[in-house]
Every structure is written in C-alpha cells, then in structure tokens.
Amino acid sequence: MKNKDTNLIIAIVNRAWDSLNFSGITDKVGLAMDIEAVHKINPLRLDDLLVADQENFNHDICGILRHLNRETGELDNGFSPRFTK
C-alpha cells in the first residue's frame, strides 16, 4: 500500500474514533486493517471519504464494520461503500 493511502487511512480511523465512538469501534488498528482490506478488494476514494459529510462518512465506516467478512475479505449483504472508485 502506498504511503499516501496509509496516511489517509490513519486520518480516517482517527476521525471515526472521535466521531463514532458509540458504533462499536474499540480498536483503531482493527479498523485500519478493515479499511485497508476493503480498499484492496474494492478501491475506495480515501481522500473523499476523509472529508465526507458526517452522514456519508458514517454510512461507509459503519457499513464496513458491519459487513466486512473477515474470513473471505468480501463485503457481505450487498453492501457497497459510497466512496468506491
């Protein structure tokens, strides 16, 4: 993964940590790994996600948390992040 992508993912995780602490986010490293896994299989527009309005940001982060199958690395239940390339 590119340094720029890593830095953006860290910034996204920090924003999620600050704004979504009620949504089951208990592990920054785990969230970063989830976002990275999704980004690898379904490239995300990380720049846009970072500065998204709160509703769209919540949709993507909470959706990734709920629908990422950690065994297959796929997003289940037809979920698709809004900030997909």
* Distance of alpha carbon 71 from alpha carbon 33, whole angstroms: 13
pLDDT, tens digit (0-9, with 9 covering 90-100), for 3-40: 999 999 999 999 999 887 656 677 899 999 999 999 99
> Mean pLDDT throughout 53-57?
96
Cα of 38 vs its chain's centroid, Å: 7
Residue 12's SS3 state is helix
Question: In the prediction, which pLDDT does 75 show?
Answer: 96
* Distance of alpha carbon 71 from alpha carbon 51, whole angstroms: 30
Tell me the pTM: 0.90
